[in-house]
Every structure is written in structure tokens, then in C-alpha cells.
Amino acid sequence: MAFLSSVLKQLAYEPSSTHYLTAFFCFVSLLLMLKLTRRNKSNFPPSPPKLPIIGNLHQLGTLPHRSFQALSRKYGPLMMLQLGQTPTLVVSSADVAREIIKTHDVVFSNRPQPTAAKIFLYNCKDVGFAPYGEEWRQTKKTCVVELLSQRKVRSFRSIREEVVSELVEAVREACGGSERENRPCVNLSEMLIAASNNIVSRCVIGRKCDATVGDSVNCSFGELGRKIMRLFSAFCVGDFFPSLGWVDYLTGLIPEMKATFLAVDAFLDEVIAERESSNRKNDHSFMGILLQLQECGRLDFQLSRDNLKAILMDMIIGGSDTTSTTLEWAFAELLRKPNTMKKAQEEIRRVVGINSRVVLDENCVNQMNYLKCVVKETLRLHSPVPLLVARETSSSVKLRGYDIPAKTMVFINAWAIQRDPELWDDPEEFIPERFETSQIDLNGQDFQLIPFGSGRRGCPAMSFGLASTEYVLANLLYWFNWNMSESGMLMHNIDMNETNGLTVSKKIPLHLEPEPHIP
């Protein structure tokens, strides 16, 4: 660099000095040759052919997890893509995923920070997208121990019971005691979304998702949440071409994100202010617990107002859509296999017996082995987040003999792994029985089944999500028999097409005819 500076200065004073000009070009040529030589010596994983500028972006398709699976069959389970200006590693093998988590987890523990995360998560001051480091570790530890432990999940049982009781009553009212030929259908997908959002919002901020706060916010928490989820999954040019970030302003995407963020921020400010002014010591929501810990000086990290709101947003974004999506797919698969649904119902009704409500305490859940198998098989076939939330390498690393550069975005294709014919018999079939005698668990140690991820960046809310999913499913299967509406498709032809968003949900909502079950 000193030589280059000297050459440039000399050229400025003596522009006709040809020997300096020659030396300068020789120096630049040498640098280029060294760079090319170094690049040629690098051993990158196999890669599909790239187009100029956009690289492999055109190969993403509308359902990236399926596109990546198709490409990996040709180029291997460890594949390098160029998505715009972003080098991207796609992993479609349980063995490679295990090596990443078990051997190189620290190197792979950063997260890329997309535009939506920066805007909605207060410049990534949350847990999900915060950079890996000591502050992140302390924040996650607090969330796991104080908010998402098994004991805390059990403490939210009354909220689950109340919300699900309202859901069951809503379905029962829709039935209205009508005769079979006149029985109305319900949009079960919509009802599942509302129930899941209500469970999460009551646990996170202590109120239903349809509640409003004060006069300054004119829409409900649920409406804001749904808008955030849509914007979070929108294609942002600046995420793949940083120098073209201005395009997202012209398209209106960034202005819409910022307007929505301001509404959410005002909403959360009023909720927090209301709690602080009332000084409610009996507030057991996530927000209340964090504020109490801060007041008692029991936090190992500095909890600013933005940190608090970012953590709450993590819970809201990560907890609502995933639960309702899993439940929707579970019902779709059970409807396609009536005998499987009957087997699940018989187990639940046998365990619960004649009761005014389904009480899923620990002993009750432990007796519902087949229900758990249904949930596991649903998560295997229909992982709500099929491409586990992207990671980013913090430094260069050697993986399976290949060179992986620093700042490489990494996708683990859980969807492809969980349908790998080398790991599963009849991988495309919904067979809950495969788990009846299997020791494969969901805790991230069995890498052929990782819907919640694994390692340092694994989802800390697994227990919370499973408790809600099992409880809602058990209730709806206990209290009702379910049939496709006559206007819908035949049972064996239920539309199973996917739509890509923050989660991968059914493209066509479930419109079903519930028939009340009398114990």
C-alpha cells in the first residue's frame, strides 16, 4: 500500500513519467494475478452454473426448499450458490448438518441480518438475529431459563386452556345442532391462526391479539402481526444487492416496512407504559417477567427499551404462525387418512374419558403416545420453516474438504433431510406409526429430524410450541369428528400445495364440517 501511494503521488507531480506508470500497472497486474491464483486454489463445493450479476437467484423458484432439493440431487448435499452478491451454502444432508453443529457450530453461529430484521427487530437487538457473542449468550440464557423452560411453559397452562375453550365453543356454535345435510362448514385454518395468535399474544404481552391499546393505535395486535409476517417474507433487493438497496425505496417496500414498524413500536410502548404505570407484580407474561427481573437487578445483560421490544417481537413472530401452520398440516394429513385420525381420536378419548374439558397435564400427555407421533410426523413432512433460519459463517472454515469463505450465508434444508429416502422408509407418506417404537426425538440431537434446528442457534421455544400444538390438536380431535365440506375436494384429493411466506403453509385453507362428539 505504501508503494501504491508513492506511485500515485509521483504520477500526480510527473504525469509523463512512464517508468512509474509502467511500475504502477505491473503492480496492479500482480495483485490481480495473486487474487486469481488464490481463488483458483480454493476448493469450493459444487455449484450450478451462474448467470451474470444475479448468479443463481433465478433458480430459487417460488418454493426455495423444493428448488434446493432438486438442485442438491444433481450437485450434491453440500452445494454453493451465488444469490446476487451473497455466497450461499445449502446443506441437504443429516451428516453434514451434524458436522456443522457438532464440530463447527461457533463458526456457523452468526446470522445474516436482512432488511426486515433490522427494521422490525430494532437493528437486530433480539435473540434470533443478534450477532453471536457474550451479550447474545446472556440474553438467550435468560429467555430460556426465565421464559421458555418447561416450568414456565407449564405455568401458561391456564392461558392455553382458556383460549382453546373459546375455540371449541366457537366451533360448537358454528355447528348449531344442524342436521348432517345442513351442517355449515368452518374455515378451520382461520380459526387456528386466531387461536395460535391469542395464545402467543397473551403469553407475551398479557392480552389477546385482537385487543387494541389506547387511542393512538387504530389496528389490532393481530392485524399488525399478520402484516409484519407478510413483509418479513417479501423479496428485498437490498438483501442480495446491497448497492441497489435504493430500489426497495422506489418500490415502496421500505416505506411500508417503516410505517408498520412505527405502528408496532407505538403499540408496544403503550403496552409497556401501561404495565409500568399499574406496577402489576402479578403480571406473568413474558414482558412482565423481563421487567420484574430488570427491577430486581437479576439480569446479566443491559435490557434497554429497544432490547425488550425486540425480544417480544421475536416471541410474536416466531410463535404464532409456526403453531397454526403445523396444526393446519396435521389436519390436512389426518383427513387424507381417516383411519389414522380415528386412531388418534380413540386414544385421546380413552385417555381423557368423560370430562368437561381436555386436561393435558404431564401424566395425561405421557399417555397420548400416538398424538405425539402424529405431531412428530407432521413436523417431519411439513416443517413450518423448511429452510432453517439462515446462518452466516464468522470466518473461513474447511467443511468436508471444501473451503467455505467467511460471510457465507448458510441454509440447512430440513425439509429435504426429513424426506431423505436413505433415512426414512416411504419418506413422502404420512405414517405416525414410524415413531411409535422409535427413539428419534425433536430436541435437535437426531439430525434426521430437526424442525426446530439444533445447536447454539436452535429454536429455544420448542417446548412452548409443542405444548400449544398438542393441546389444540387434542381438543379439536376429542370434541369433534371432522369431514371435508361437500363444496371441497374429495378426501383423498385434498389440495396439499404450499405457499411460501414466513412459514410454508397450505395454499388452500381448510374448510371443514365439524360434527360434535358427545362423550
359-362 contacts, C-beta under 8 A, 24 or more apart: 359/161, 360/467, 360/470, 360/471, 360/474, 361/157, 362/154
- The sign one gets for the Cα dihedral 388, 390, 396, 401 is positive
Q: Would you tell me how many other CB atoms lie within 10 Å of the CB of residue 106? A: 13
Residues contributing to the annotated binding site for heme:
459
Q: Which residues does residue 81 pair with via DSSP β-bridges, in sequence order?
A: 88
What is d(CA 237, CA 245) in angstroms, rounded to the nearest whole number?
6
What is d(CA 49, CA 95) in angstroms, rounded to the nearest whole number?
26
Are the CB atoms for 513 and 185 separated by under 8 Å?
yes
Percentage helix, strand, coil for the chain under 3-state DSSP, each rounded to 5: 55, 10, 35
Q: How many residues does the chain have?
A: 519
Residues contributing to the annotated binding site:
459
Are the CB atoms for 329 and 381 separated by under 8 Å?
yes
Vertex 133 angle, CA 413 and 143, to 5°: 75
